[in-house]
Amino acid sequence: MFKRLKAGFESLKAGLARTHNAILGGVESAVTGASREEFLEKLEESLITSDVGIKASTEIVDSLRTKLVGWGNGEKFREYLRDAIYDILKEVEKPLEVDKSPFVIMVLGVNGVGKTTTIGKLASRYSAEGRSVMLAAGDTFRAAAIEQLEGWGKRAGCPVVRQEQGGDPGAVVFDAMKAARARGADVVILDTAGRLHTKVNLIEELKKVNRVASRELPGAPHEKLLVLDASTGQNAINQARIFNEAVGVTGIALTKLDGTARGGIIIPIARELKIPIRFVGVGEGIDDLREFNARDFVEALV
């Protein structure tokens, strides 16, 4: 068990390596050679470069300024930096509790952010916990999207409810709810479309999916999980606002932290949206999804 936890932490650390370097790479040398103000200025720049955002970067640097009195204890800056980031992230650490059966998760997000991949990872995780999982192919726009979900279903060993390409997503969700009740599924995960260039249509479609789910199963969907791609930067915040207004987002999965130096975006996401961060994605593999833990995240980052 300990070995597994340790392996999990190591993969998180590896996933955050680029963002770690973006924040700390340029400031290490300033710890010894520069004055306190020069150091803090460099740090602020690095934070902004890694997408922490101007407001949060200023706040973090201000809190360090009050603690690094006399600049004799520059070596402690990591500890203070960790504390400042932890204070922001701990507010959104609320793991997803799957406390009903069936528990319905509706997965939202624009094309390419990693919705289907995240669904596959979640299916595998919940199956491994001994729950019966069912997937619903609600992104009916492209045949490839349906096939991709079926591939993940096979890997996780769970059934996929689908219709033909171009079918009505509401009808897919209707079928899925019926099948879930009939077969006693514990977890149902709904994939959805993400073509934001037809924004009005997309939002109407998502509202309908939401409506059908709750009509067929009161209380569903129990989680509206928005997937955000960490490498898209500040745009992620705008996406969250749009989906939140449309259907109400109850949790966030932040993906692709492994491929970007802009993972600092998690800080403004936490600070401005105040929506629980449930999961972080650190790779394309089936095991590359971690439950978000603020302490581990900060340890791995700084």
Ligand X SMILES: Nc1nc2c(ncn2[C@@H]2O[C@H](COP(=O)(O)OP(=O)(O)O)[C@@H](O)[C@H]2O)c(=O)[nH]1
113 binds, among ligand X, Mg ion, none (CB under 5 to 8 A by kind): ligand X
Fill in the amino acid letter for 37.
E
Structure tokens at 56: 């949060």
Least Å from the CB of residue 109 to Mg ion: 9
Least Å from the CB of residue 170 to Mg ion: 18
284 binds, among Mg ion, ligand X, none (CB under 5 to 8 A by kind): ligand X
Least Å from the CB of residue 157 to Mg ion: 20
The rounded distance, in Å, linking the Cα atoms of 89 and 168 is: 39
Q: Is residue 225 within 8 Å of 108, Cβ to Cβ?
A: yes
111 binds, among ligand X, Mg ion, none (CB under 5 to 8 A by kind): ligand X
Sign of the dihedral defined by the CA atoms of residues 70, 76, 78, 81, in that order: negative
Comparison of 108 and 301: residue with beta carbon closer to Mg ion? 108
Least Å from the CB of residue 242 to ligand X: 15
250 binds, among Mg ion, ligand X, none (CB under 5 to 8 A by kind): none
* 3-class SS string, 208-232: HHHHHHHHHCCCCCCEEEEEEEHHH
Comparison of 132 and 231: residue with beta carbon closer to ligand X? 231
Q: Which residue is nearest to Mg ion (CB)?
A: 116
Among 11, 50, 116, 250, binds Mg ion (CB under 5 A): 116
Tell me the residue length of the chain: 302
Bond from prior residue into 221 cis (ω within 30 degrees of 0): yes
Residues forming the site for ligand X (CB under 6 A): 109, 111-117, 194, 255-256, 258-259, 281-284, 288
Residue 103, judged by CB atoms within 10 A of its CB (0-12, 13-18, 19+), counts as buried
Least Å from the CB of residue 141 to Mg ion: 9
Q: Is residue 189 within 8 Å of 158, Cβ to Cβ?
A: no
Comparison of 107 and 270: residue with beta carbon closer to ligand X? 107
Residue 155, judged by CB atoms within 10 A of its CB (0-12, 13-18, 19+), counts as middle
Comparison of 12 and 60: residue with beta carbon closer to ligand X? 12
Least Å from the CB of residue 238 to Mg ion: 20
Contact stretch for Mg ion (CB under 5 A) within 48-56, 107-115, 235-243, 256-264 = 107-115
Comparison of 112 and 157: residue with beta carbon closer to ligand X? 112
Residue 87: which residues within 8 A CB-CB, separation 6 or more? none
The rounded distance, in Å, linking the Cα atoms of 39 and 80 is: 14
DSSP H/E element including 51: none
Least Å from the CB of residue 137 to ligand X: 11
Comparison of 141 and 174: residue with beta carbon closer to ligand X? 141
Q: Is 117 in the site for Mg ion (CB under 5 A)?
A: no
Q: Which residues bind Mg ion (CB under 5 A)?
A: 115-116, 145
